[in-house]
Structure 1
Amino acid sequence: MAKRRQEEKVSPHLKRFKYTQDQAIEKPFNWQQMVRMLQYLKPYSKKLLPLAILAMLVSTAVRLAVPILIGKVAIDVAIDGENPTLLTWLVVAIGVLYLLSYVGNSLRIKWVNILGQNVIYDLRKHLFSHVQRLSHKFFDSKSAGSILVRIMNDINSLQELFTNGIINLLMDVVTLFGIVVILLVLSPKLALAIMVILPIMFYISTKLRRNIRRSWQQVRIQQSRLNSHLNESIQGIRITQSFSQEKENTEYFDGVNTDNFESWRNATKKSAMFRPFVEMSNAVGTVILISFGAYLIIQGPSNGGIELGTFVTFAFFLGMFWEPISRLGQMYNQLLMAMAASERIFEFLDEEPNVEERQDAIELQDMKGHIEFDHVQFAYDEERIALHDISLEMKAGQTVALVGHTGSGKSTIANLISRFYDPTKGSVKIDGHDLRDLTLNSVRQQISVVLQDTFIFSGTIKENIRFGRPDASDEEVMEAAKVVGADDFIQRLANGYETEVEERGNILSAGERQLLSFARALLADPKILILDEATSSIDTETEVKIQEALQRLLKGRTAIIIAHRLSTIRESDNIFVLEHGKILEQGNHSELMEQRGEYFDLVKTQFQMLDAM
C-alpha cells in the first residue's frame, strides 16, 4: 500500500519523464541484426579471429579425444587385453593432450579478450562520432542521460558477447556436434535414447525467447530513465535545494529506482528458468544412460549391445553434453541482452542528421559574411511555426540586432544562419550561396556563437579559450583574453591561465564565464559572429568595461546581436523588430525611434523599468 501511495504521488512526474525518454522497440528477433553487429569483427578477421578459432578447435579436439582414449582404448583394449605398456603410453599421451589443451585455452582467452576489447572500442567510437554529427533536432528530443546510457551501458552489455560469447558459442556448437557424431557412431540406440529430451528443451526455450528478450529490453529502458533522472538531479541540485525539494526529489528517484529494480528482477527471474531445466534434463539423461546402458552391456556386442568401455565413454560424453547445452542457455540469455542493447545502439546509428550535407557540397573558403533570408519559413514541428515568410538582408561587415519578445523567432534566425536547422520553406544564403549547397565545416568554422548560457568544459582556463582555435599559441590566447577584458580576473586566479575549472565552470561567476566565451569567439576569428543574449549575465560595470572590447570584437565582421539591453544594440547598423515569427519593423535606432512603433514601445518600457529601479 505504501508503495502504491508513493507511485501515485510521483506519477505526474513519472508520466512526464517516461514520455520524454526511450520507448520500447518492438522488433522481431532477427539474424540480420546479429550479422550487422558481427560486422565489427571484420577488421580483425584476418589475424585475431582465426587465431582464437584455431586455439578453440585445438582445445575442443583434445576434450573430444580424451574420453575415447579412456573408454575405447584404455578399458576395452589395454585393460581387457592386459597390456600395461599401452596403458602407460596412454597415460603419457593423455597428459600431453591436457597440456596442449591448457596452452590452447590460455591463448584462446588472451586472443578473444583482445578481440572483444577492440570491437567494443570501435563500436563506442563509432556511436560517439555518429552522435556528434547529428542535428540539433535529435538532441531536442533526447535527454543527455538517454544518450549516455546508449554509449556506456548498452555498449558495455555487448562486451561479454564479443570477449567470450562468440568464441564460446562456436566452441559449444563444435563440441555438441562432435559429441553427437561420436555417440551415434559408438551406439546409435543409446545415443538416440539419451537425446530424446532435446526436442522438448527446444520447444520450451523457443517459448521463453520472446518474454526474456522483452524483459531485458525493459531493463535497458529503465536504466536509461534512471540515468536521465540522475543527470537532471545533479545538474539541477542548486534549484532543488533553493526550493527545499530534496524530499520530493528523493521520492521521485525512489520511484524510478524501484522501476529499475523491478525490471532487473523480472528479467533475471525469467532468465534463471533455463539452467534448472537443463540440469533436470541432465538428470533424465543420466537415468536413461544407467538403465538402458546397463541393459545393452548385459546384451553384449554380439547381440547388438555395447562394451563396458563404450558405456564409460558415454558417461564421459554425457557430462560434457549437457554442459555446453547449459552454457548455450546462458549464452542465449546473453544474446538476448545483447540484442536488446544492440537494438537501442542501432536505433541511434540509424538516425540521420536532419541537416544533411550534399555529396557535391561546395567548400566556402573565404567567407565575406553577406547573409540573405529569401522567404524563409521554419517550424520545429507541425503545430509550432517559428518563422513566417521572413525575407531580410545583412550586409557583410554590418552589425545587425534582432529584438522582440520571447518566442518572436530571434534565436531561430541565429540557428538557421549557423545551419543547426534547415528552413521548412525558402532559403538562407551566405555570400549568395544557399547554405544547403555548402559543406557544414566550411560554414561553421567561420561562424562563432556566444550564448547566454555559456558552456565551460572541464580543464584549464587556457584550454577553454583555445577551444575556439586549437592550434592557437599561448600568446594568442592571452591576447584574446586581454582584448575582451578577461585577463584581469584570470590573473587574480590562483594559477592564472592554468587554473583548472570544473564541469560547466562552477568556480567562475556568470559574468566571468561570459567573458571567457567572448575570448573564445575572438580567438576563432570568425567572419560572422552571433551574440545570443551574450551580455545578459554581465553586470553594468563589467558591461561598460567590455563595450570597447565589443567594438574591436565586432570590427570587420558581420555581427548578429540578440539582446534586450538598449546599450548593446543602439549602435547597430540595422535593427529587425520581430513578433510571432514576423518582421514588424527594420532600420537603425534613430529611424525606428522616429517611427514610434513597436521598437519605440520596447525602448520606452525599458527606460521606465530603469527609472523604477
Structure 2
Amino acid sequence: MAYWGGGQAGGWSGDQRGVQRGRAVDGWDYAELGRVYEPGLVKRLFPFLGPYKVQTIVATIAMLVFAVASYAQPYVMAVATESIVEKLRSGTPAELAAVESEILRFGAILVGLATFSFGSAALQRLMTGYVGHRILRDLRSQMFEHLNKLSLGFFDREEVGRVMSRVTSDVVTLQELITSGFLNILADIVGLALIVLFLFLLDPLLAVISLSVIPLLMIFMVWWQSPAAHAFIRVRQGISIVNGSINENVSGVRIVQSLNREDENLRQFERLNRVNLDANMDAVKLQAAVIPMVEMLSTIATAVVLIVIGVRTFAGDLGAGEALAYAIGFLLYIQRFFNPVRDIVLQYTMLQRAMAGAHRIFEVLDTEPEIVDPPDAKVLPDVEGRIDFNEVDFSYVKNVPVLRKFDLHIEPGETIAFVGHTGAGKTTVTALVNRSYDIEGGSILIDGTDLREIQRASLTRRMSVVLQEPYLFSGTIADNIRYGRLDATDEEIADAARAVGAHDFVDRLPAGYDTELHERGAN
C-alpha cells in the first residue's frame, strides 16, 4: 500500500502544539543546571569508563607519580640548601670537602624527580587522550542511536538546533570532564595535600602562617559561587539559542531569500547573539574576579612568611642555613599551593559546563520512545490493503483534539485523496497509518489487525511514502533509492525509478545511479 503525505504531521491551523516559539524554552529544565557536583549524574558517568579500566588506572597512577615527583622538588631544594649552607659556614676541611658530594647527590635526586615527573606526565596525557577520544566516540554513537529511536512527537516538540547542541558541544564538554577534568581535579587535590605535608615537615609554625589566608579565600568562594552558577546557566542557554537560530535559518535559507528576509533575520540573530555575548562576558567578569583574589592572597602569605623568617633569624631562632632553606622552600610551596587553587577555580567553569552538559545529555537518553512494540507484537504478512479507522481520537497536544470519532474505511486497491483546508488533518490521517503517532481512542486496522499489535518495522516495510518535501541523503542515487530496503538489487532500483518516471533522467547522468549527491540533493 502507499500514501502521500506532508513533510510533518499537521492537523490544525497554526502552531498549537504547546511549544513556546520564544527561543528561551525547549522543553529541558535549565533551572536545574549549573551545579558544580551532582552525585547522581557523576554516578552515571562512570560506566563510560568501564571498557577502558586499564588505561584509566594507568593514567591515575601516572598522575599520582607526577604529583609526588613534582611537589617533592621544593622540599629537596630546601633540605639541600640548608645542608650545603651549614657545611660552608662551618669552614672545616671535612665539611667543605663534603659540599661537592652533597651538590652531586641532591642534583641527582632532583634530576631523577624531574625525569619521573616528565615521564609520568607524558604517560598520563597519552592515556587520557586514548580514553577521552574513545569515550567521545561512544557518547556520540549512543546519542545518535537513541535519537534515531525516538518518536516523531519528540522532534515535533524540540528544536533541531538544540538537539544538535547536545550531540556536539555537550558531548565534548562531558568527555573532557570524564577524562582530563576528573584527573586534573584529583591531581590538584593530591597536590594540595602534598604541599601541606611538606610545609609541616619543613616548619609547622610557618606552615600554619602560610595557610592562614585560606579562610579568606573560602569566604570569597562561598560568595562567588551563587552568581557564578547563574552566569554559567545563562551561558549554556545563550549558545543553545544561538545554535537553534542558526540551524533554523540555514535549513530554511531558500524561503529566507525568496521573501527577502536576510536583513530582518540578521537583526533578530544579532539580538540573540548579543544576549549570548552578554552572558559570556558576565561569566568572564566573575571568573576574572577570582584570579586577582588568589594572587593577592598568595602575595600576602608570602610577605608574612618572609617577615616571620626574618624576625626569627634576627632573634637567633633560625640559623642562616635554615632561614635561607625556609625562604626557598616556603616561597616555592606558597606559589605552588595557589597554583592548584587557581586551577580548581578555573575548573569550576568546566564543572559547571560539564554538569549542565551531563544533565542535558541524560535528559535526551532518558527520553523514552513513545511508539513501542508490545512484547507479543505480530509480524505483518503480505497485505491485501484494507484500512479501517474506527472512531479514532487523536491529538498532538493534550486537550487540543485533531481527530474526534473519526471513521474511514478503505478497500484494497482503492485510491483515496484527502482534500481540505490547511490544518484539517490530512497529513495527520496519513501519518497515523504507519503509526508515526499512537492514537488516544478507537482503533486503526490493517486487514483486520490493530496497528498497535503489529511490529512497526514490519508495518513500514509494507508501505511506501512520498513526502511533500522529499529528502535526499548524502551518497549515491542508488543508495537513496535503496535507503528503506538495503537488499534491493540494481534491477529493482531501476524498476523503482521507472515507476516514478526518474529512470531516463538518472540514466543520462555521467555516473548514472552511482552519481554522488550532496545533502538534500543540492547538486
TM-score (norm 1): 0.74
Alignment of 1:290 with 2:295, yes or no, is no
Alignment of 1:26 with 2:48, yes or no, is no
Alignment of 1:464 with 2:480, yes or no, is yes
Change over 3 Å in CA distance of 1:472–1:144 after alignment to 2:
same
Change over 3 Å in CA distance of 1:177–1:44 after alignment to 2:
farther
Map 1:98-247 to 2 at 5 A.
98-247=114-263
Tell me what 1:35 maps to.
42
2:418 aligned residue (391, 394, 403): 403
Alignment of 1:362 with 2:377, yes or no, is yes
Is the 2:380–2:455 Cα contact (8 Å) retained in structure 1? no
Tell me what 2:443 maps to.
427
Is the 1:376–1:390 Cα contact (8 Å) retained in structure 2? yes
Q: How far did 1:128 drift?
A: 1.9
Tell me what 2:497 maps to.
481
Is the 1:190–1:289 Cα contact (8 Å) retained in structure 2? yes
Is the 1:25–1:343 Cα contact (8 Å) retained in structure 2? no
Alignment of 1:324 with 2:344, yes or no, is no
Is the 2:380–2:454 Cα contact (8 Å) retained in structure 1? no
Alignment of 1:77 with 2:93, yes or no, is no
For residues 19 and 284 of structure 1, the distance between their equivalents in structure 2, rounded to whole angstroms, comes to: 45
Is the 1:155–1:341 Cα contact (8 Å) retained in structure 2? yes
Tell me what 1:67 maps to.
74
Change over 3 Å in CA distance of 1:338–1:499 after alignment to 2:
same
Q: How far did 1:228 drift?
A: 2.0
Question: Which sits farther off after the overlay, 62-71 or 309-318?
Answer: 309-318
Alignment of 1:90 with 2:117, yes or no, is no
Is the 1:56–1:108 Cα contact (8 Å) retained in structure 2? yes
Paired residues in the alignment total 489
Structure 1 counterpart of 2:184, one-letter code: N
Paired residue secondary structure (2:72)? helix
For residues 213 and 445 of structure 1, the distance between their equivalents in structure 2, rounded to whole angstroms, comes to: 50
Tell me what 2:14 maps to.
none
Give CA deviations for 1:197-250 in whole Å, capped at 9, x if unaligned: 112212222222232222222222222222222222223223233232322222
For residues 384 and 56 of structure 1, the distance between their equivalents in structure 2, rounded to whole angstroms, comes to: 58
1:46 aligned residue (35, 53, 56): 53
Map 1:339-354 to 2 at 5 A.
339-354=355-370
For residues 240 and 53 of structure 1, the distance between their equivalents in structure 2, rounded to whole angstroms, comes to: 53
Question: Which sits farther off after the overlay, 161-170 or 425-434?
Answer: 425-434
Q: How far did 1:23 drift?
A: 6.5
Change over 3 Å in CA distance of 1:157–1:173 after alignment to 2:
same
Is the 1:460–1:500 Cα contact (8 Å) retained in structure 2? yes
Change over 3 Å in CA distance of 1:26–1:361 after alignment to 2:
farther
Structure 2 counterpart of 1:330, one-letter code: L
Is the 1:299–1:306 Cα contact (8 Å) retained in structure 2? no
Q: Which runs of 5+ in 1 are unaligned?
A: 1-14, 508-613
Q: How far did 1:299 drift?
A: 4.9
For residues 491 and 302 of structure 1, the distance between their equivalents in structure 2, rounded to whole angstroms, comes to: 95
For residues 506 and 307 of structure 1, the distance between their equivalents in structure 2, rounded to whole angstroms, comes to: 76
Q: How far did 1:112 drift?
A: 0.8
Is the 1:134–1:352 Cα contact (8 Å) retained in structure 2? yes
Paired residue secondary structure (1:444)? helix
Q: How far did 1:349 drift?
A: 2.2
For residues 429 and 506 of structure 1, the distance between their equivalents in structure 2, rounded to whole angstroms, comes to: 39
Is the 1:22–1:146 Cα contact (8 Å) retained in structure 2? no
For residues 448 and 276 of structure 1, the distance between their equivalents in structure 2, rounded to whole angstroms, comes to: 66
For residues 331 and 422 of structure 1, the distance between their equivalents in structure 2, rounded to whole angstroms, comes to: 46
Q: How far did 1:502 drift?
A: 2.6
Q: How far did 1:409 drift?
A: 2.7
Change over 3 Å in CA distance of 1:37–1:277 after alignment to 2:
farther
For residues 246 and 58 of structure 1, the distance between their equivalents in structure 2, rounded to whole angstroms, comes to: 58
Is the 1:75–1:309 Cα contact (8 Å) retained in structure 2? yes
Tell me what 2:64 maps to.
57
Is the 2:379–2:454 Cα contact (8 Å) retained in structure 1? yes
Change over 3 Å in CA distance of 1:142–1:162 after alignment to 2:
same
Tell me what 2:10 maps to.
none
Give the superposed CA RMSD: 2.6
Tell me what 2:467 maps to.
451
Tell me what 1:573 maps to.
none
Give CA deviations for 1:439-460 in whole Å, capped at 9, x if unaligned: 4333333333221211111222
Change over 3 Å in CA distance of 1:490–1:121 after alignment to 2:
same
The sequence identity of aligned pairs, in percent, is: 31
Which structure has more RCO (C-alpha within 8 Å, separation ≥ 6)?
2
Q: Which runs of 5+ in 2 are unaligned?
A: 1-19, 88-94
Q: How far did 1:22 drift?
A: 6.0
Give CA deviations for 1:247-272 in whole Å, capped at 9, x if unaligned: 22222222222222222212222222
Q: How far did 1:273 drift?
A: 1.7
Is the 2:378–2:453 Cα contact (8 Å) retained in structure 1? no
TM-score (norm 2): 0.86
Paired residue secondary structure (1:398)? coil
Structure 1 counterpart of 2:419, one-letter code: G
Structure 2 counterpart of 1:380, one-letter code: Y
Q: How far did 1:109 drift?
A: 1.0
Q: How far did 1:98 drift?
A: 0.8
Q: How far did 1:487 drift?
A: 0.5
